[in-house]
């Protein structure tokens, strides 16, 4: 199984034949758009739908949802006999592949209601028990929370050892669903590693005119990714709207500002700042975020999302602190004291904040090391801050990594520096590497 690097589709010789008929559970926005695109690609579709009203309309070739381009494709396919609708698959004429696109709405407490997905799986489990030749590959396209595939495996253990079951998250947007289907950003297939591997879905993907990077990952990765994407889109919209309200209150033009903002594809609309790791700190982000919030408040503008970035950052310190606490160390070594690698700037440095948390109430002794932070070269505000740093009881800064590691109970790596990872490679104590997110596996 590939680990988060896009793989090409399997070579032709390794592929299963392209499925001639695909079944789809749930003929709503996702199910019908998918049906339309499969039909367009010469594949026959059998749809299974619980709503009698939808069934009636579809049998007449009338599409019950409004989505550009879908009506014409469905109508033509019904006329040509390449699309039929029924309650449930016929055990004697099973499709090679079934896509599950039933709804997964919110429950009253905000969790995902998996009732429809579970019902489909119970029914398919029963169908497979009654059919010794049942070999249909099952692919979930409904959005499911992390852990769902595993939960379904426990619900239908025999089904999962018999046929491949995978999650293939859908990234289409209503209104441009056909267009999105034909040019998806990427295709992710998630499955449980120890169980039968999906094959037919790869052949189906290879049959499309579009060629998208396909990555086969662990089920939990695919399930989490879909939620991360939707949350990120929600964050982007809220961010843009908060910035819009703030700029308007200041007499500026938010559209112009955000247009220019998006032109910066190096830092703004890029993969920069999108790796889990250090809390943010340094001389600018905290200072300017606080100032921005103050400016807004004076004008009656609330920016709860941006404001909560500060709370979120505090929570990240608590998360790292809890991970350290779980090892009950008396001596902690922090490698990297400046706010980032190759800098001597310790203004609002996350490392300094952490070492203050650790040394408070004599909890731990902290030994620090940094290649750039040196008493003799500090100047200006950093000289002042260093003086305060060296007055912290139970903290010392060592000049050599070797000395900083002597007698330590735990190492915290705060800078992405090969010299640090090499130095701790054979150390018999716990190492928490904040930059590469190592040592946090059991924390949540
Ligand atoms: N709509 C989108 O833009 C979009 C995009 C990406 C992912 N998704 C996800 O895809 C899934 C489907 O979304 P949708 O918008 O198409 O939902 P929808 O409500 O429009 O359609 C779901 C359909 O499933 C049917 N259904 C329910 N139980 C069934 C069963 N046991 N057998 C057969 N049919 C059954 C319902 O009657 C309904 O027609 C959801 O999990 C959603 O989160 C939606």
Alpha-carbon span 115 to 22, nearest angstrom: 23
Q: Ligand 1: does its nearest atom lie under 6 Å from the Cβ of 49?
A: yes
Alpha-carbon span 141 to 102, nearest angstrom: 8
Strands 187-191 and 214-218: parallel
Pocket test for ligand 1, best of 26, 167, 223 (most atoms within 8 A of CB): 26
In this structure, the number of other CB atoms found within 10 A of the CB of residue 317 comes to 15
284 annotated active-site: yes
What phi and psi, each to the nearest 5 degrees, are found at residue 349? -70, 130
The domain 12-219: what is its CATH number?
A: 3.40.50.720
pLDDT in tens, 249-305: 999 999 999 999 999 999 999 999 999 999 999 999 999 999 999 999 999 999 999
- Identify the three-state secondary structure at position 234: helix
Q: Given a cut of 70, is residue 4 above it in pLDDT?
A: no
pLDDT at 182: 86
Alpha-carbon span 216 to 2, nearest angstrom: 6
Q: State percent of the chain over pLDDT 70.
A: 96
Q: Given a cut of 80, is residue 356 above it in pLDDT?
A: yes
Q: Given a cut of 60, is residue 12 above it in pLDDT?
A: no
Pocket test for ligand 1, best of 63, 123, 170 (most atoms within 8 A of CB): 170
Burial letters 320-337, b for 16+ CB under 10 A, else e: beebbeeeebebbbbbbb
What phi and psi, each to the nearest 5 degrees, are found at residue 86? -150, 180
Domain with CATH 3.40.50.720 in the chain: 12-219, 229-313, 322-433
pLDDT at 377: 82
Ligand 1, atom 20, lies closest to the CA of: 28
- CA-to-CA dists, residue 325 to 287, 362, 396, 437, angstroms: 29, 13, 20, 17
Distance 132 CA to ligand 1 centre (A): 30
Residue 359 confidence class, pLDDT cut points 50, 70, 90:
very high
Decide which of 3.40.50.720, 3.40.50.300, 1.10.760.10, 3.30.200.20 is the CATH code for 229-313.
3.40.50.720
Decide which of 2.40.10.410, 3.40.47.10, 3.10.129.10, 3.40.50.720 is the CATH code for 322-433.
3.40.50.720
């Amino acid at each position: 199984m590939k680990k988060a690097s896009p793989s090409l589709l399997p070579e032709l010789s390794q592929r299963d034949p392209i499925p001639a008929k695909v079944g789809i559970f749930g003929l709503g926005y996702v199910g019908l758009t998918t049906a339309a695109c499969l039909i367009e690609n010469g594949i026959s579709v059998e749809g299974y739908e619980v709503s009698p009203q939808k069934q009636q309309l579809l049998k007449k070739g009338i599409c019950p949802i409004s989505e550009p381009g879908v009506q014409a494709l469905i109508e033509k396919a019904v006329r040509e006999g390449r699309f039929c609708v029924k309650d449930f698959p016929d055990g004697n004429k099973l499709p090679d592949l079934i896509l599950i696109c039933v709804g997964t709405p919110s429950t009253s407490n905000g969790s995902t209601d998996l009732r429809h997905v579970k019902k489909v799986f119970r029914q398919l489990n029963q169908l497979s028990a009654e059919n010794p030749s049942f070999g249909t590959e099952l692919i979930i396209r409904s959005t499911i929370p992390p852990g769902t595939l595993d939960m379904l495996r426990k619900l239908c253990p025999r089904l999962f050892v018999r046929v491949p079951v995978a999650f293939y998250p859908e990234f289409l947007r209503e209104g441009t669903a056909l267009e999105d289907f034909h040019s998806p950003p990427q295709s992710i297939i998630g499955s449980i590693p120890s169980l039968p591997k999906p094959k037919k879905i790869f052949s189906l993907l290879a049959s499309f005119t579009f060629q998208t990077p396909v990555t086969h990952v662990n089920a939990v990765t695919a399930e989490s990714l879909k939620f991360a994407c939707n949350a990120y889109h929600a964050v982007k919209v809220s961010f843009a709207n908060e910035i819009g309200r703030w700029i308007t209150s200041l007499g500026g033009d938010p559209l112009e500002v955000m247009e220019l903002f998006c032109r910066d594809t190096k830092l703004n609309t890029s993969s920069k700042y999108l790796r889990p790791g250090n809390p943010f700190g340094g001389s600018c982000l905290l200072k300017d975020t606080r100032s921005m919030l103050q400016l807004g408040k004076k004008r009656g503008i609330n920016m709860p999302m941006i404001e909560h970035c500060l709370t979120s950052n505090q929570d990240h310190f608590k998360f790292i602190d809890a991970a350290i606490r779980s090892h009950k160390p008396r001596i902690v070594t922090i490698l990297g004291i400046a706010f980032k690698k190759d800098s001597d700037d310790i203004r609002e440095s996350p490392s300094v904040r952490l070492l203050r948390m650790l040394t408070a109430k004599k909890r731990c002794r902290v030994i620090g090391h940094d290649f750039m932070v040196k008493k003799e070269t500090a100047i200006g505000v950093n000289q002042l801050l260093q003086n305060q740093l060296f007055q912290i009881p139970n903290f010392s800064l060592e000049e050599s990594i070797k000395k900083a590691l002597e007698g330590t109970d735990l190492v915290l790596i705060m800078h992405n520096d090969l010299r640090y990872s090499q130095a701790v490679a054979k150390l018999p104590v716990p190492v928490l590497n904040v930059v590469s997110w190592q040592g946090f596996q059991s924390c949540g």
